[in-house]
A and B are shown apart, each in its own frame.
Chain A
Amino acid sequence: MIQLYHIENNYPFQEISWHEKNKVIQTDKGKKAVALWKDENDLNWHIHWREKLSKEAGVLTDRVIRTNNGEQALATDIGWITVHDVIESLFPVSDHPFEMGRFLGTYANIDMECHRPSEDETVGRMNAVPASLPLSRPIVQKMEKEAIRRERKAQQILKGCPVNVNKVAKVGSLNQARSVQGQLFWQNNEREIDSSVDMLCSCLREWVSEYGESKLDTLLDGLNETYSFENDKGKLILAYFVYPNEFISFGEWYHENRSAEEVDIKLDELCRQWDISKKIVEHIADRVIDIKEQVS
Chain B
Amino acid sequence: MNDITRQQSIGAILFQYDLYPNHIETHGKVFKVETNHGTFALKRTKMTRGEADWFIYVLRKLDRDGFPFVVPVLQTKYGDYVVSDGEYTHYLMPWYEDRQQVNSQLQPEETMVEELAKLHGLTEKTQNGDRDSLDDSYQNLKNRWDRRKLEIEKYVDTIEQHTYYSPFELTLLTHFERTSFMAQQAERHLQKWLEKSKEKKKIRRVLCHGKPIRNHTRFDENGTAYFLNFEKAVLDTPARDLALLFRHFFQVRPWDELEGQHWLTIYEKNFAFFDEEKHLFISYLAFPENIYQMIDHYTDPQRTKSEIHMVMQLERRVLTMNRIQRLMNALFPNHP
Task: Please state if B15 and A180 are interface contacts (CB–CB under 8 Å).
Answer: yes
Task: Please state if A182 and B75 are interface contacts (CB–CB under 8 Å).
Answer: no
Which residues of B are found within 8 Å of A180, using beta-carbon distances? 11-12, 15
A162 within 8 A of B: no
Which residues of B are found within 8 Å of A30, using beta-carbon distances? 18
* Set A12, A60, A182: member contacting B16, Cβ < 8 A: A60
Q: Which A positions have Cβ atoms within 8 angstroms of B?
A: 12, 29-30, 54, 58, 60, 63-66, 70, 72, 180-183
A181 and B18 in contact (CB under 8 A), knowing A63-B78, A66-B79?
no
Which residues of A are found within 8 Å of B79, using beta-carbon distances? 66, 70, 72
- Bound Cα distance A79, B273 (Å): 56
Which residues of A are found within 8 Å of B75, using beta-carbon distances? 66, 70
B86 within 8 A of A: yes
Task: Please state if B15 and A181 are interface contacts (CB–CB under 8 Å).
Answer: yes
Q: Which residue of A lies closest to B17 (CB)?
A: A29
- Bound Cα distance A40, B12 (Å): 31
Task: Please state if A183 and B78 are interface contacts (CB–CB under 8 Å).
Answer: no
* Set B8, B78, B84, B86: member contacting A181, Cβ < 8 A: B8
- Bound Cα distance A182, B6 (Å): 11
- Bound Cα distance A79, B84 (Å): 33
Residues of chain B from 1 to 19 with CB closer than 8 A to chain A in the complex: 7-9, 11-12, 15-16, 18
Q: A149: shortest Cβ distance to chain B, in Å?
A: 46
B154 within 8 A of A: no
13 sampled A-B residue pairs with Cβ under 8 A: A30-B18, A60-B15, A60-B16, A64-B78, A65-B77, A180-B12, A180-B15, A181-B7, A181-B9, A181-B11, A182-B8, A183-B8, A183-B9
Which residues of A are found within 8 Å of B78, using beta-carbon distances? 54, 63-66
Q: A220: shortest Cβ distance to chain B, in Å?
A: 23
Produce 1/0 per residue, B73-93, CB < 8 A to A: 001011100001010000000
- Bound Cα distance A51, B259 (Å): 53
Beyond the given A60-B15, A72-B79, could you list 18 further A-B residue pairs with CB under 8 A, ordered by the A residue number?
A: A12-B77, A29-B18, A58-B84, A60-B12, A60-B16, A65-B77, A66-B75, A66-B78, A66-B79, A70-B79, A180-B15, A181-B7, A181-B9, A181-B11, A182-B8, A182-B12, A183-B9, A183-B12
Task: Please state if A66 and B77 are interface contacts (CB–CB under 8 Å).
Answer: yes
Which of B7, B11, B75, B77 has the most C-beta atoms of chain A within 10 angstroms of its own C-beta?
A: B77
Produce 1/0 per residue, B48-71, CB < 8 A to A: 000000000000000000000000
Q: Which residue of A lies closest to B79 (CB)?
A: A66
Q: Which residue of A lies closest to B84 (CB)?
A: A58
- Bound Cα distance A181, B24 (Å): 15
Q: A107: shortest Cβ distance to chain B, in Å?
A: 17
Which residues of A are found within 8 Å of B7, using beta-carbon distances? 181
Which of A29, A58, A181 has the most C-beta atoms of chain B within 10 angstroms of its own C-beta?
A: A181
Q: Which B positions have Cβ atoms within 8 angstroms of A?
A: 7-9, 11-12, 15-16, 18, 75, 77-79, 84, 86
Q: Which residue of A lies closest to B5 (CB)?
A: A182
Which residues of B are found within 8 Å of A70, using beta-carbon distances? 75, 79
Q: B61: shortest Cβ distance to chain A, in Å?
A: 17
- Bound Cα distance A291, B9 (Å): 42
Task: Please state if A58 and B86 are interface contacts (CB–CB under 8 Å).
Answer: yes
Which residues of B are found within 8 Å of A65, using beta-carbon distances? 77-78
- Bound Cα distance A64, B77 (Å): 8
Which residues of A are found within 8 Å of B86, using beta-carbon distances? 58
Q: Which residue of A lies closest to B16 (CB)?
A: A60
Q: Which residue of B lies closest to A13 (CB)?
A: B18
Q: B48: shortest Cβ distance to chain A, in Å?
A: 15
Q: Which residue of B lies closest to A70 (CB)?
A: B79
- Bound Cα distance A183, B83 (Å): 15
Which residues of A are found within 8 Å of B8, using beta-carbon distances? 181-183
- Bound Cα distance A28, B18 (Å): 10
- Bound Cα distance A30, B17 (Å): 12
Which residues of A are found within 8 Å of B15, using beta-carbon distances? 60, 180-181
Which residues of B are found within 8 Å of A182, using beta-carbon distances? 8, 12
Task: Please state if A181 and B77 are interface contacts (CB–CB under 8 Å).
Answer: no
- Bound Cα distance A126, B15 (Å): 47
Q: A74: shortest Cβ distance to chain B, in Å?
A: 14
Q: Which residue of A lies closest to B7 (CB)?
A: A181
Which of B11, B16, B79 has the most C-beta atoms of chain A within 10 angstroms of its own C-beta?
A: B79
- Bound Cα distance A63, B83 (Å): 14
Q: A37: shortest Cβ distance to chain B, in Å?
A: 18
Which residues of A are found within 8 Å of B16, using beta-carbon distances? 60
Q: A245: shortest Cβ distance to chain B, in Å?
A: 37
Q: Which residue of A lies closest to B11 (CB)?
A: A181
- Bound Cα distance A54, B78 (Å): 11
Which residues of A are found within 8 Å of B9, using beta-carbon distances? 181, 183
Which of B7, B8, B11, B12 has the most C-beta atoms of chain A within 10 angstroms of its own C-beta?
A: B12
- Bound Cα distance A139, B201 (Å): 91
- Bound Cα distance A24, B154 (Å): 73
